[in-house]
Amino acid sequence: MTPSLVLSIDAMGGDDAPDIVIDGVAHFLKGRRRPVSFLLHGDEARLKPLLERHGDLKSVCEIRHTESEVDMSAKPSEAVRRSRGSSMWNAVQSVKAGEAQVAVSAGNTGAFMAISKVILRMKPGVHRPAIAASWPAPDGFSTVLDVGANVELTPAQLVEFAVLGEAFHRAVHGVARPTVGLLNVGQEELKGSQMIRDADAMLREAGLDMDYRGFVEGDDISAGTTNVVVTDGFTGNIALKTAEGTARLVGGWLRESLTSSLLGKMAAALLSLGPLSTLRSKMDPRSVNGGVFLGLNGVVVKSHGGTDAIGYATSLRIALEMADSRFLSEIENNLARLSAHEAAFEDREGETA
């Protein structure tokens, strides 16, 4: 077994793990020609029968037995202390050891971030890692970060997220010079907290050689007004889930309009011959499942805890794209530019504190 790419999987993480994890791997591999292999960290007694169900998986999967797993409700600090040797810990450890290029888990987000920080360490110049999500937009994807790791932030940390997100977008979505916006409330409103206004001033004045476009609003994310949208983890997580909920509600309305009348059913029959499946896959939140941890010495991808095999397969696809991209070197380049301005930021932080 000597393939070019290895993904390290926390097979026990997620609401319906390990079943959906193995089903997700199987779904991911369907029709894929490029050789990819998997390290499956978890309970061998449970994983083995699941692999038997998918005969073709055995040749590309290696089970790494673990005795424990991280609880979905564990606090991050607790997880770091108690989870050595767990499936999540070992999944990240395989990346650190160079056995795999990316670690993936659908388990406890806070614990996964804390464990990743301890094992992989942050890149020099990063104070807190962020989670980036790729968000559907009219011409491809927007990058939104942070979507869940950091609830309370300083202005300089938001600037750092801008730098990380811009590098991510260039590497993964192939835009040479991504535009960057800072999420805020409307122009005519109270213009957000002092924290956001300070971050805006820093981004304008820092001379970061970044195409910073100033404040954007919630509806700009799906409009793709800027390629990258920067916010704190609380707001970003709520925006992401609100968008998912809205897509689900609208999907329900659409289904209703295609099933509740004869005309609707006739239209649905026509649409089912083509256009509907495209629309359905675009509207499916599972098609964008996978948050990428930015700022670490290594690539880590988080799947939703409650996803199914199709959603899990999406997070594996994202993991593969990350492994293939110039992502880590782009981040390093951007951080080098940032470090030249760090002293200025720290002075400013001191002033506003």
Q: Rounded to whole angstroms, how far apart are CA atoms 239 and 112?
A: 21
Helices (H) and strands (E) in the chain, counts: 14, 11
Q: How many residues in the shown chain lie near its own copies by CB under 8 A?
A: 71
The answer to the question of residue 222 lying near its own copies (CB under 8 A) is yes
The answer to the question of residue 110 lying near its own copies (CB under 8 A) is yes
The answer to the question of residue 347 lying near its own copies (CB under 8 A) is no
User: Given CA atoms 318, 319, 320, 326 in this order, what sign does their dihedral have?
Assistant: positive
The answer to the question of residue 118 lying near its own copies (CB under 8 A) is no
Residues 319-338 that bind its own copies (CB under 8 A): none
Residues 237-276 that bind its own copies (CB under 8 A): 237-254, 256-258, 260-261, 263-264, 266-268, 270-271, 273-276
The answer to the question of residue 91 lying near its own copies (CB under 8 A) is no
Among 31, 49, 98, 138, interactor with its own copies by CB under 8 A: 138
Give 308 or 330: the residue with its C-beta nearer to its own copies: 308
The answer to the question of residue 158 lying near its own copies (CB under 8 A) is no
How are the residues of the chain apportioned to helix, strand and coil, as percentages rounded to the nearest 5?
Answer: 50, 20, 30
Give 218 or 290: the residue with its C-beta nearer to its own copies: 218
Q: Rounded to whole angstroms, how far apart are CA atoms 198 and 206?
A: 12
The answer to the question of residue 185 lying near its own copies (CB under 8 A) is yes
Residues 1-60 that bind its own copies (CB under 8 A): none
Give 100 or 111: the residue with its C-beta nearer to its own copies: 111
Compute the least distance from the CB of residue 113 to its own copies, in Å: 9
Segments in the chain forming alpha helices (H)? 19-29, 44-53, 76-82, 87-96, 109-120, 155-173, 194-205, 218-223, 233-259, 262-271, 275-283, 309-324, 327-339, 342-352
The answer to the question of residue 352 lying near its own copies (CB under 8 A) is no
Spatial CA neighbour of 203 closest among 194, 195, 215, 212: 212
Q: Which stretch binds its own copies (CB under 8 A): 72-80, 115-123, 286-294, 332-340?
A: 72-80
Give 266 or 340: the residue with its C-beta nearer to its own copies: 266
Strand 299-302 with 102-105, pairing: parallel
